[in-house]
Chain A
């Protein structure tokens, strides 16, 4: 197993670990803030996974510059990076909305415990 493979496995493993940690937080933590943190961790894990796919060992930034045509072969895949940028922005937006909702919830319920916020059920 060469180093590229190892790094790749490491990246994949880390990202899956991150996703699982995030899921754990979402499923077990009672605080709304912690749940949102969990969601962000999941997002982070997925972004890492996405980057990992495009990884090329010793690759260069996917930018064309004159005189470095040979670099094209060693370029990391640009698409995942573009995707990650978009995904990060979206994740940021969602987190912002979530936090503002949490403020509203706290004002209305005077608690951040998700078990106590269930006026709407059945």
Chain B
């Protein structure tokens, strides 16, 4: 269909225009950037319907682009988040340098994600995947912080994942002679057993890297916290979902066909559970909001993976619903951190406190998303978690449920830390000059927070497309009445039955806030939070004693044995070992011309010795 091509042409033209014309004028650049996003967004939401597609051939390989009801869900997240974080970025980044590169790259990432979702064949899927990888890489190193360490780690893991995928794609192509995803799925049962196991594992490695599954996650904390926050909003919100997207396809359509493929799902589910638990613990430990949210993202992706990998219809619904929700609230939170950092200059909990009066709207957005993240009704996170628990119960994964329960309870700790660290607590003189972030930054956050709220009350809005997508994948085979699977939905499946309760909760919250603001305003006694004495301890002068300092030490001490073993260290030592080995191989070229002559003679002798086996 023409619209698909139009969208991509607009993207490419917009990228080029933003880059080249953006050098001339900042306003023009922003306008071009937003116009590209708006135009493609408008075209996408009006002109594209599921099941439209085009086919073409490159190198004699048939390829196709189109959109399926399943990828439509993810495309909504991508386009929506791109628009909102794009608006946010224009304001948030205005003082930075090299902005034409930033915005062009931003568009490139959005385009590549849309491309991934539009690809009906593995080659264009891979091409867009790689474009996504390197364009997001340039964003990770954009700030120039820790470039060689964090950046290389990201590109290294991405490359390993991508090449695992490419290997699978190449196998698929040589076996079936076609790269169309549909053909591959239809012919998968013809593969021999070895391949039937190898291909899904390779593909899952590729997707696992992007969705930060436990042993492959080490790039994520650094990468998420190092890129500009306006980009991380999309990076964590939308880009990581590409891994989930691929994983769902592999797990539903391919692993299903393997005899005993059940085990792959089980292993992935467990890895997801471990990811969720460990990442949550690490998140609690962080003092930097960006790092904390990065670990929190990894944890949340763990939940999603658990849901997707358990693979009962309800679990799948839960996983995908949480994927959407995570896209919404985690981008909001990253935007909040970006706003706080922009206004105060730091994102460290131990330095920034008491911003609630200075940045009330930002606080509101943060509060809503934190509630959604923690899974407290009435926001959307609750429904996702509820469905996940229900499905885990239903499929007898009791150990896993304990793990998930543990990590989601522990998640409260960092949620609290986030809210308290930035917004609650006492005001510091140091931050008295801080003002609310500009409207262009606050409004996208509030819109997203509003969505989180809306989906909490009317989950049907997103559950319906998810259901259609699942039906397209042939998963929910019989029923259209997805709400019958969970007990919390009402008869029509549009809303949650506990609605009256939610309204009460909201009422209480609002009242409480109003009460606090009016009542507490006058009686606040100002003491520096960075220099107070707490129970029994006699602090030294200028010792930082903000609330979040050494937060939850007893808990962290209790779990210290678990956290002691860091997989990062193993990777580092493997990396160092390899580098040393490679340093040795380059010493083969000694620099002495005579040695090279010796190699020459030795080479002749070797060839003569092995002539029977080599020729």
CB distance A114 to B598 under 8 Å? no
Chain B residues with Cβ under 8 A from A118's Cβ? Answer: 590-592
Interface string of B557-595 (1 = CB under 8 A from A): 000000000000000000000000000001101111110
CB distance B591 to A120 under 8 Å? yes
- Report which of A27, A30, A114, A117 forms a contact with B601, defined as CB distance below 8 A: A27
**Please, how many angstroms separate the alpha-carbon atoms of A69 and B593 in the complex?**
53
Chain B residues with Cβ under 8 A from A117's Cβ? Answer: 593
Is B597 part of the contact surface with A, judged by Cβ < 8 Å? yes
Give the size category of A's interface with B.
10 to 19
A102 to chain B, nearest CB (A): 12
**Please, how many angstroms separate the alpha-carbon atoms of A57 and B589 in the complex?**
48
CB distance B592 to A26 under 8 Å? no
Chain B residues with Cβ under 8 A from A114's Cβ? Answer: 592-594
Chain A residues with Cβ under 8 A from B594's Cβ? Answer: 26-27, 30, 35, 114-115
Interface string of A12-51 (1 = CB under 8 A from B): 0000000000010011001000010000000000000000
B207 to chain A, nearest CB (A): 39
CB distance B587 to A27 under 8 Å? no
- Report which of A23, A26, A122 forms a contact with B587, defined as CB distance below 8 A: A122
Q: Residue of B at shortest CB range from A121?
A: B591
**Please, how many angstroms separate the alpha-carbon atoms of A60 and B592 in the complex?**
47
Contact (A27, B598) CB under 8 Å given A114-B592, A121-B591, A122-B591 = yes
**Please, how many angstroms separate the alpha-carbon atoms of A110 and B591 in the complex?**
18
**Please, how many angstroms separate the alpha-carbon atoms of A3 and B166 in the complex?**
67
Q: Residue of A at shortest CB range from B592?
A: A118
Count of chain B residues with a beta carbon within 8 Å of a chain A beta carbon: 11
B360 to chain A, nearest CB (A): 61
Q: Residue of B at shortest CB range from A30?
A: B594
- A:100-116 near B, CB below 8 Å: 114-115
**Please, how many angstroms separate the alpha-carbon atoms of A70 and B29 in the complex?**
91
CB distance B598 to A121 under 8 Å? no
CB distance B587 to A115 under 8 Å? no
B212 to chain A, nearest CB (A): 37
Chain A residues with Cβ under 8 A from B592's Cβ? Answer: 114-115, 118, 121
B215 to chain A, nearest CB (A): 34
Interface centre among B587, B589, B597, B601 (most CB of A within 10 A): B597
**Please, how many angstroms separate the alpha-carbon atoms of A114 and B592 in the complex?**
7
Is A65 part of the contact surface with B, judged by Cβ < 8 Å? no
**Please, how many angstroms separate the alpha-carbon atoms of A23 and B594 in the complex?**
11
Q: Residue of A at shortest CB range from B585?
A: A122
Chain A residues with Cβ under 8 A from B590's Cβ? Answer: 118, 121-122
**Please, how many angstroms separate the alpha-carbon atoms of A67 and B598 in the complex?**
54
**Please, how many angstroms separate the alpha-carbon atoms of A69 and B143 in the complex?**
88
**Please, how many angstroms separate the alpha-carbon atoms of A35 and B596 in the complex?**
13
**Please, how many angstroms separate the alpha-carbon atoms of A121 and B590 in the complex?**
6
CB distance B591 to A119 under 8 Å? yes
CB distance A27 to B597 under 8 Å? yes
- B:106-155 near A, CB below 8 Å: none
- A:70-122 near B, CB below 8 Å: 114-115, 117-122
B603 to chain A, nearest CB (A): 13
**Please, how many angstroms separate the alpha-carbon atoms of A35 and B586 in the complex?**
25
CB distance B586 to A122 under 8 Å? yes
Q: Residue of A at shortest CB range from B590?
A: A121
**Please, how many angstroms separate the alpha-carbon atoms of A118 and B594 in the complex?**
10
Q: Residue of B at shortest CB range from A29?
A: B594
Q: Residue of A at shortest CB range from B588?
A: A122
**Please, how many angstroms separate the alpha-carbon atoms of A121 and B593 in the complex?**
10
Chain A residues with Cβ under 8 A from B586's Cβ? Answer: 122
B250 to chain A, nearest CB (A): 44
**Please, how many angstroms separate the alpha-carbon atoms of A26 and B598 in the complex?**
9
Q: Residue of B at shortest CB range from A38?
A: B597
Chain B residues with Cβ under 8 A from A119's Cβ? Answer: 591
CB distance A26 to B589 under 8 Å? no
Chain B residues with Cβ under 8 A from A115's Cβ? Answer: 592, 594
Known: A119-B591, A122-B587. 8 other contacts (CB 8 A): A26-B594, A27-B601, A35-B594, A114-B593, A115-B592, A121-B591, A121-B592, A122-B589
Chain A interfacial positions (CB closer than 8 Å to B): 23, 26-27, 30, 35, 114-115, 117-122
A-B contact pairs, 22 of them (CB 8 A): A23-B601, A27-B594, A27-B598, A27-B601, A30-B594, A114-B592, A114-B593, A115-B594, A117-B593, A118-B590, A118-B591, A118-B592, A119-B591, A120-B591, A121-B589, A121-B590, A121-B591, A121-B592, A122-B587, A122-B589, A122-B590, A122-B591
Return the 4 tightest CB-CB contacts between A and B, nearest first: A121-B591, A118-B591, A122-B586, A118-B592
